[in-house]
Amino acid sequence: ALILGIESSCDETAAAVIDGNGTTLAARIVAQRIASQDEAHRPYGGVVPEIAARAHVEVLGPMVEAVLADAGMTLDDVDAIAATAGPGLIGGVMVGLVTAKALAMAADKPLVAVNHLEGHALSPRLADPSLQYPYLLLLVSGGHCQILEVAGVGQYRRLATTIDDALGEAFDKTAKILGLGYPGGPAVERLAREGNPKAVPLPRPLVGSGEPHFSFAGLKSAVMRAKDAQRTFLRQAQDERSEANPETQNPARPEPVEGRQPYSDADIAASFQQAALDCVIDRTRIALATAAPGMTALVVAGGVAANAALRGALEALAAEHGLPLVAPPPKLCTDNAAMIGWAGAERFALGYTDPLDVAARPRWPLDDNAAPVRGAGV
Ligand code: ATP
Ligand code: MG
Ligand code: FE
């Protein structure tokens, strides 16, 4: 089936045409477009819901027309329209969902209301046609950090979640502390490549605990203290230097003072990333040990799955357990409409469609997703 997919739950506006019968990734994504609002939110250091919703309104209509044109199609050619119905920023979700409802009504096509997390959860099947259910999924995004058994469409059993921050949130906060701007994950990863992951001692919250849950708030606080300690060190070093030699400028790379070893922002980034990854690997190892038998693969999805260091570490962990690691290409890890269209295609193939009064849901746990969506009007 041909599905038009729409995504607008956060700060990317995206539309895609998916061929659910395609046997390769290239054949499955007939066309896709994505507009990031990074520039609009950058001055605020994070997503501003009102700005996001307004930007979705401006961009989405023309984008749907454009992506259909890219695909060489009209709305009449698609079999169903799939849109994110939550969870996410409610204003943005409503823009996408209402647009999808209007298109469905105008063209007399079925609507598929997609859980954004299901989009992430099934994106590895879009990318790798050989991936079979059931698989163990590490879902690491800006708002979520969970481990789930995925037994089929709508069949999720959650083994673990975070008790405070999501992993992507921890990357974003670290980026903010280091002045790297928004969005932070890719910037932290880039800077971490130049640093020493052992330079700054940081905690590994919950490592060793018997249940595979996550916690990142303590790690973030430790990063903040490390940055403060670095500032203090640099100030003292500067004072001592200018007393010795008033000509000395602010050095780009801090130098040791009387045997006290300084560390750079790159060292903080690398040490943070290492600590976070150590947590994720330890927690995922526990989940692999406690998961139901028969998992065909270890799978990672969500924005943080774009992180190369994480992918490498998970690859080794999966190999330890004799499992393949399946990770979508980085561009399908962060928010996009291809994954929403694909989840729509999987649902549509099973006969799951939704009424035009289906509600947008700001909160919507994935393991509460067994049945097709039902609800009152948006
Ligand atoms: P959710 O899917 O939970 O609703 P979201 O849609 O905002 O949240 P995603 O778009 O899936 O989240 O992921 C965005 C997150 O991924 C951000 O926190 C971002 O910093 C992080 N991220 C993206 N690329 C990388 C990377 N290379 N390394 C680490 N983190 C990354
Ligand atoms: Mg984004
Ligand atoms: Fe997302």
Beta bridge partners of 140: 145
CA 231 to ligand 3 centroid distance, Å: 34
- Which residue has its alpha carbon closest to ligand 1 atom 4? 143
For 179-227, write each residue's pLDDT tens digit: 998 889 999 999 999 999 999 999 999 999 999 999 999 999 999 999 9
pTM summary value: 0.94
Mutation to probe ligand 1, out of 118, 141, 273 (largest number of atoms < 8 A from CB): 141
The C-alpha atoms of residue 303 and residue 175 are separated, in whole angstroms, by 15
- Beta strand pairing call for 80-86 and 2-7: parallel
pLDDT of 147 strictly over 80: yes
Quote the strand ranges of 74-144, DSSP E.
Answer: 80-86, 111-115, 135-140
- Could you list the beta-strand ranges (E) of 40-109: 80-86
Edge-first strand order for the sheet with 325-326 is 155-160, 145-152, 135-140, 298-301, 325-326
**pLDDT at position 253 over 70:** no
Q: Please give the structure tokens belonging to residue 120.
A: 């992430």
Indicate the DSSP class of residue 305. Answer: G
pLDDT for residue 374: 41
Per-residue pLDDT, 376: 34
pLDDT at 375 over 50: no
Note the pLDDT tens digit of each residue in 29-58: 999 999 999 999 988 888 999 999 999 999
Cα separation of 48 and 140, whole Å? 22
Whole-number Å distance, alpha carbon 1 to ligand 2 midpoint, is 28
What integer best gives the mean pLDDT of the chain?
94
pLDDT at residue 256, rounded to an integer: 66
- The H-or-E segment that residue 261 falls in is none
Q: For ligand 1, say whether the CB of 183 is within 6 Å of any of its atoms.
A: yes
Q: Is the predicted pLDDT of residue 103 greater than 70, yes or no? A: yes
Minimal-distance CA residue to ligand 1 atom 29 = 185
CA separation for the pair 261, 258 (Å, rounded) = 9
Half-sphere exposure of 73 (CA within 13 A, CB side): 19
CB atoms < 10 A from the CB of 101, how many?
21
> Identity (one letter) of the amino acid at 190?
R
Q: At 84, give phi and psi (nearest 5°).
A: -65, 125
Comparing CA positions, the residue from 284, 315, 335, 277 lying closest to residue 146 is 284
CB neighbours of 67 closer than 8 A, spacing ≥ 6?
4, 15, 16, 17, 31, 32, 33
| Gap from CA of 30 to ligand 3 centroid (Å) | 21
Residues of the chain with pLDDT > 70, as a percent, come to 93
Q: In this prediction, what percent of the chain has a pLDDT beyond 90?
A: 87
Cα of 91 from ligand 1 centre, angstroms: 19
Concatenating the DSSP letter of every residue in 345-356 gives HHHHHTT--B-T
The pLDDT of 233-245, averaged and rounded, is: 86
Residue-wise pLDDT for 310-339, tens only, equals: 999 999 999 999 999 999 999 999 999 999
Q: Tell whether the model's pLDDT for residue 373 goes beyond 70.
A: no
Residue 150 has a pLDDT of 98
Is 189 known as a binding-site position?
Answer: yes
